[in-house]
Chain A
């Protein structure tokens, strides 16, 4: 257990509304990541953070923004949700040797 929680775990929203997903970790890990999982695509990196206020884009960053104002929280915001952003979102941290990433339980987001 890497001490990662995500909230909310499920959310249904309407097209055009803003949505913020939260990832919280309790073990002071420096690196945090947001992924989305879709059928036929595996997991794809949206944004990642390498420290407080230090973030960078991943493979599928369009339509998403992130913020990290303190070590333990990494927020993912959909400024104006679209149906193509219906997905399962996972947060991860890096711990231990190499590039081993550990994942949170996920947030299932449905955009109607």
Chain B
């Protein structure tokens, strides 16, 4: 049973437009959410996170939105750039603390077309 789901395996967007990546979760005890970006043959790179006490967090071109009632989070990239082309993973954890395990989604491959 997958607790964190990314239902879109891939997404194609034109350069300069908005990319919206979605993630759903089932465990209501999750209280911390993260997005990672991964290029081929490299490790995942941390992008942005959000605590369940917030509904939005921004960092430059990246904004994460959290809808707790719908158990849904999304990552917005504006404007999208060709260098954003990568696999994006959302992850979630419960209770906080470093020993808590991150549960990852299956990833969405974003292709930004020049």
- Do residues A44 and B43 form an inter-chain contact, with CB atoms below 8 A? no
For A30, the chain B residues whose CB sits under 8 A away are 98
Complex CA–CA separation, A98 to B97 (angstroms): 6
Q: State whether A99 touches B98 (Cβ < 8 A).
A: yes
- A99 touching B96, Cβ below 8 Å: yes
Query: Among the listed stretches B58-66, B68-76, B100-108, which one makes contact with chain A, having 4 or more residues with CB under 8 Å of it?
Result: B100-108
Contact B96 A105, beta carbon cutoff 8 Å: no
- Given that A42-B89, A106-B43 are contacting pairs, would A101 and B102 also be in contact in the complex, using a CB cutoff of 8 Å? yes
Q: Does B41 contact A (CB under 8 A)?
A: yes
Task: Check if A99 sits within 8 Å of B104, measured CB to CB.
Answer: no
In the complex, the answer to whether B101 meets A59 with C-beta atoms within 8 Å is: yes
Q: Which residues of A contact B32 (CB under 8 A)?
A: 98-99
Known interface pairs A98-B49, A98-B51, A101-B46. Does A106 touch B41 (Cβ–Cβ under 8 Å)? yes
Q: Give residues of chain A (69-112) contacting chain B, Cβ–Cβ below 8 Å.
A: 90, 94, 98-106
Question: Given A42-B89, A101-B34, A103-B43, 16 other A-B contacts at CB below 8 A?
Answer: A42-B6, A42-B107, A43-B44, A44-B104, A48-B101, A58-B101, A59-B101, A90-B43, A99-B34, A99-B93, A99-B97, A100-B49, A101-B102, A102-B46, A103-B36, A105-B42
